[in-house]
């Protein structure tokens, strides 16, 4: 059994980037831990209803993935650049030492959203093998509407593919929990686009649908 930790800058990033992966590991009886970094809150200008919606959605989604522990840091969306990076590093370090994950999933380092880049930079700082010896693999996700906007010279070139054919419909169903975040085309987070990306990535691994990742580091003992 493996301990898997996924760190999402915003709730829905975990499903867009690794929904099928999480479902697969749920069925393998691995332990899944989820740190969501930012969320809607009235103190950030959101309505009470919006705050309640996101709290409900996070709980529902964590239940569907069989998450052992869901940690919502409730920091300000699009506001991580206001926080000292050393503060974020300490938060992630403490949680990683508590969870002791074998596999960590992070946003891609060159995603267009500043929250994604900051989460990558500060969480990745907490993966040095001599300080966190239980970490075996660090994986970056491909998150539609964020990763595809990376600067072309620093774009996402996957080197790890996961067949999610069995889980494609369930991934879409989970994404629908976030009713404000999945819409009709041409909005990028639409069902056809999510399935289309999975179909495209599947061509690289002889599958019907796949998710693509970039392995930052893998250690075999």
Give the tens place of pLDDT for each residue, 145-180.
999 888 777 899 999 999 999 999 999 999 999 998
Which residues contact residue 130 at a Cβ distance below 8 angstroms, ignoring those fewer than 6 apart? none
Which residues contact residue 47 at a Cβ distance below 8 angstroms, ignoring those fewer than 6 apart? none
pLDDT single digits (tens) 101-110: 999 999 999 9
Per-domain residue ranges of the chain:
3-218
- What integer pLDDT is reported at residue 94 of this predicted model? 98
- Could you give the CA distance from residue 73 to residue 38 in angstroms, rounded to a whole number? 6
pLDDT single digits (tens) 34-62: 999 999 999 999 999 999 999 999 999 99
- What integer pLDDT is reported at residue 168 of this predicted model? 98
- What integer pLDDT is reported at residue 17 of this predicted model? 98
Helix axes 168-175, 191-202, angle to 10 degrees: 150
DSSP annotation of 165 reads G
**What is the CATH topology of the domain spanning 3-218?**
Rossmann fold (3.40.50)
- Could you give the CA distance from residue 197 to residue 193 in angstroms, rounded to a whole number? 6
């Amino acid at each position: 059994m493996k301990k898997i930790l996924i760190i999402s800058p915003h709730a829905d990033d975990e499903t867009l980037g690794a929904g099928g992966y999480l479902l697969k590991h749920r069925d393998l009886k691995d332990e899944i831990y989820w740190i969501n970094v930012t969320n809607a809150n009235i103190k950030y200008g959101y309505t009470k209803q919006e705050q309640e919606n996101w709290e409900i959605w996070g709980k529902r989604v964590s239940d569907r993935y069989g998450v052992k522990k869901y940690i919502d840091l409730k920091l300000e969306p699009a506001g991580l650049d206001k926080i000292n990076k050393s503060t974020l590093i300490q938060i992630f370090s403490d949680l990683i030492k508590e969870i002791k994950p074998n596999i960590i999933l992070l946003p891609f380092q060159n995603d267009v959203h500043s929250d994604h880049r900051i989460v990558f930079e500060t969480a990745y700082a907490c993966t040095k093998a001599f300080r966190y010896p239980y970490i075996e693999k660090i994986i970056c996700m491909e998150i539609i509407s964020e990763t595809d906007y990376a600067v072309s010279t620093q774009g996402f070139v996957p080197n790890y593919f996961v067949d999610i054919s069995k889980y494609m419909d369930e991934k879409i169903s989970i994404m629908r929990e976030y009713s404000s975040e999945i819409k009709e085309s041409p909005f990028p987070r639409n069902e056809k686009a999510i399935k289309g990306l999975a179909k495209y990535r599947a061509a690289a691994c002889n599958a019907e649908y796949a998710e693509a990742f970039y392995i930052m580091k893998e250690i075999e003992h």
